[in-house]
Amino acid sequence: MSRHPEVKWAQRVDKVFITVLLPDAKDAKVKLEPEGVFSFSASAGAENHQYELKLDLFDKVNVEESKINVGVRSIFCIVEKAEPAWWNKLLRGDGKTPHYVKVDWDKWVDEDDDTAGSGLGDMDLGGMDFSKFGGMGGDDMGGMGDFDDSDEDLELSKPEDEATDKKEAEEQDAGKDGAEMEATDMEVEERPPSNPDPFKRISLKNSIQTNFGDDYVFQIVPKDDWTAMAVSLSTNAVKVYSPVTGQYYGECKGHSATINQIAFSGPSTPHILHSCSSDGTIRAWDTRTFQQVSSFHSGSSQEIFSFSFGGSGNNLLAAGCDTQILFWDWRNDKQVACLEDSHVEDVTQVHFIPDHQNKLLSASIDGLMCIFDTEGDINEDNHLDSVLNVGTSIGKVGFFGETYQKLWCLTHIETLSIWDWKDASETSFQDARSLASKGWTLDNVDYFVDCHYSREAEKLWVIGGTDTGTLGYFPVSYEGNKAIGSAEAVLGGGHTGVVRSVLPMSSTPSGSSQGHGIFGWTGGEDGRLCCWLSDNAPEINRSWISSALVSRSPRTRNTTRHQPY
């Protein structure tokens, strides 16, 4: 059965902007008809799931003047209207707008503020129009396989960055499995005094360019005592390294499809690593021998997207599958419950809430977060406590605060919301990417990777990145006047593509000497693991860029954005 990709749209009086959000789309086909029918199909993911879309637009369009651009994470179209007029909505008819179609607030303007032909409509998409590109404007759906999707035509060269980049840390020679990473004396960079910048950069200590090749780094997670970190790859394997030296320890291999989540067990079994996969299994690995020691099966070939251990007796294993939430008693491998009525699409996240281990939160592509009480015999009639409606496909969630009552939520269309899961109150940042982009002088923030909370500083950051691999830590103010502030740390020069995972070493136990001087690790679609230094340079204010990211740089901060964006 085909799936629907996320779609964002905005308009001007003479055109419509349509963005299809489908990372790494393969064999993509697009068709635009003069009557206003927009069709899309592609496959994506390790399992080559089929995605299809057909939109009956509000009115007729001019196919010849419409343009398209294919990127790594999305397909962006500028559709020219046949007649200049403000559309009441995107789709014709009286039906309800599909849940996967959302307003693109980053590009939206009100009708009173619109000037025909202004803004994104003038963007140079390389002269690629529907009528000339692969038959996309004709009767047959044309393929996109030969189109250069590197997005190079959208990159801007910034003179102020070039001066700084001369001092960027050069990457070490490609490492091999089993090799120990060598540290280099590389300092956190300062911008030239003639061009003060509102942030400092974290320096690249080293990158492990292993034999990953074209394979992605999906996730990086630490062992409880920080003596090891596990890295999941698009090869359906997990590799284990030292987070301090980068030394390669070994590999856990056995999954036959995409690994969607990995996590080490708690202090009672610190050497056990768990992983869940689209092959329908959750597997346990002994990281001393790198052998599989147990496995749970979802049945009916259901993909497993997330898992969590908890329950009041700490005996439950919960898993998010296609539209279901499965529960096992991990002590005897017995399935004890299956919840199948709370969500109507893939359950992307399940988490037992810290300090409330009998409470489980699930999140789904259907835009809902559900909270269950897992005491007793679990069922939806008696154990569904509350439902939080985010309104769009949910990608990642996490808990924070002194009692873990707060919840952050990142969506697949790059919005951010902060919730109090007990009283269901919400602070929403629908324009999160736009707000973060104003917080530095680099390229616009293209996506969010994660959020990070410091209990010592009682502070939350959202971590945003560019398609060319630069990351920023943006502080989030969610009480009172909501805001996303200027980047307080910038990681640049390590990656050349989208970053998938960030492991901050500030998460090390208080007082631990593990990883001293290391800001953290990142991994991405370029197949690299990068290690970042934080406080090795003597002139750095160590209380600012320290294990807790406690306070800002003492330098005067310039909050003005500079061209080009």
For 189-203, how does the pLDDT look when each residue is reduced to its tens digit (9 = 90+)? 333 332 223 334 566
Residues 228 and 103 in one domain: no
- Res 549 pLDDT > 90: no
Instruction: Give the mean pLDDT of 485-513.
Output: 79
Residue 543 included in any domain: no
- Looking at residue 16, its pLDDT comes to 94
Helix (H) or strand (E) holding 484, with range, is strand 483-484
DSSP string, 127-169: T-BTTTSTTTTSSSPEE-TTS--S-GGG----HHHHHHHTTSP
**Which residues make Cβ contacts (< 8 Å) with residue 400, sequence separation at least 6?**
406, 407, 408, 451, 453, 455, 460
Q: How far is CA 13 from CA 86, 124, 137, 469, in A?
A: 5, 19, 22, 35
Tokens 């990473």 sit at which residue?
181
Q: Which of 508, 490, 495 is nearest to 544 (CA)?
A: 490
Domain boundary pick from 94, 111, 128:
111
**Alpha-carbon span 550 to 534, nearest angstrom:** 13
Residue 344 included in any domain: yes
Based on the structure, what is the number of domains in the chain? 2
Q: Which of 408, 409, 394, 281 is nearest to 346 (CA)?
A: 394
Domain boundary pick from 48, 83, 111:
111
> Is the overall model pTM greater than 0.75, yes or no?
no
- Res 425 pLDDT > 80: yes
Instruction: Give the mean pLDDT of 383-396.
Output: 93
**Is residue 472 within 8 Å of residue 436, measured between CB atoms?**
yes
Instruction: Judge residue 416's burial from the number of C-beta atoms within 10 Å of its C-beta, 0-12 exposed, 13-18 middle, 19 or more buried.
Output: buried
Residue 470 included in any domain: yes
Residues 451 and 317 in one domain: yes
Domain boundary pick from 91, 111, 131:
111
Here the CATH number for the domain that contains residue 26 is 2.60.40.790
Q: Which of 54, 49, 52 is nearest to 322 (CA)?
A: 49
Q: Could you count the other beta carbons within 10 Å of the beta carbon of residue 176?
A: 11
pLDDT band at 538 (very low <50, low <70, confident <90, very high): very low
Residue 211 included in any domain: yes
Residues 107 and 211 in one domain: no
User: How is residue 521 written in tokens?
Assistant: 């690790």
**Which residues make Cβ contacts (< 8 Å) with residue 524, sequence separation at least 6?**
216, 217, 469, 495, 497, 498, 499, 500, 501
Here the CATH number for the domain that contains residue 248 is 2.130.10.10
- Looking at residue 59, its pLDDT comes to 94
Q: For residue range 451-467, list pLDDT tens digits in order.
A: 999 888 889 999 999 99
Instruction: Judge residue 303's burial from the number of C-beta atoms within 10 Å of its C-beta, 0-12 exposed, 13-18 middle, 19 or more buried.
Output: buried
Q: Can you name the residues that pair with 523 across neighbouring β-strands?
A: 501, 529
- Greater pLDDT, 513 or 218: 218
- Looking at residue 201, its pLDDT comes to 54
Helix (H) or strand (E) holding 437, with range, is helix 432-437
Q: Which long-range contacts (CB under 8 A, 24 or more apart) does 52-55 make?
A: 52/2, 52/3, 52/4, 53/4, 53/5, 53/7, 53/20, 55/7, 55/18, 55/90, 55/91, 55/101
What are the percentages of helix, strand and coil residues in the chain, rounded to 5?
Answer: 5, 40, 55
- Looking at residue 212, its pLDDT comes to 62
Residues 100 and 225 in one domain: no
User: How is residue 391 written in tokens?
Assistant: 């309104």
- Greater pLDDT, 43 or 105: 43
Residue 332 included in any domain: yes
- Looking at residue 181, its pLDDT comes to 35
Q: What angle do CA 500, 504, 509 make, to 5 degrees?
A: 140
pLDDT band at 153 (very low <50, low <70, confident <90, very high): very low
- Res 559 pLDDT > 50: no
DSSP string, 271-301: TEEEEEETTSEEEEEETTTTEEEEEEE-STT
Residues 279 and 401 in one domain: yes
Residue 55 included in any domain: yes
- Res 417 pLDDT > 50: yes
Residue 196 included in any domain: no
Q: For residue range 470-479, list pLDDT tens digits in order.
A: 999 999 999 8
Q: Which of 79-88, 110-119, 241-250 has the highest mean pLDDT?
A: 79-88
Residues 332 and 457 in one domain: yes
Quick one: how far is CA 530 from the chain centroid? Answer: 17
User: How is residue 494 written in tokens?
Assistant: 């390590």
- Find the range with the poorest average confidence among 161-170, 209-218, 268-277, 426-435: 161-170
**Is residue 349 within 8 Å of residue 450, measured between CB atoms?**
no
pLDDT band at 87 (very low <50, low <70, confident <90, very high): very high
Residues 364 and 483 in one domain: yes
**Domain range spanning residue 256?**
204-532
Q: How far is CA 362 from CA 81, 277, 402, in A?
A: 41, 17, 21
Residues 78 and 225 in one domain: no
- Looking at residue 138, its pLDDT comes to 37
Residue 180 included in any domain: no
Q: For residue range 96-149, list pLDDT tens digits in order.
A: 788 788 888 778 777 766 654 445 544 444 445 555 443 343 333 333 333 333
Q: For residue range 320-360, list pLDDT tens digits in order.
A: 998 999 999 988 889 999 999 999 999 999 999 999 989 99
Instruction: Judge residue 270's burial from the number of C-beta atoms within 10 Å of its C-beta, 0-12 exposed, 13-18 middle, 19 or more buried.
Output: middle
**Alpha-carbon span 487 to 508, nearest angstrom:** 22
Q: Report the SS3 class of residue 500.
A: strand
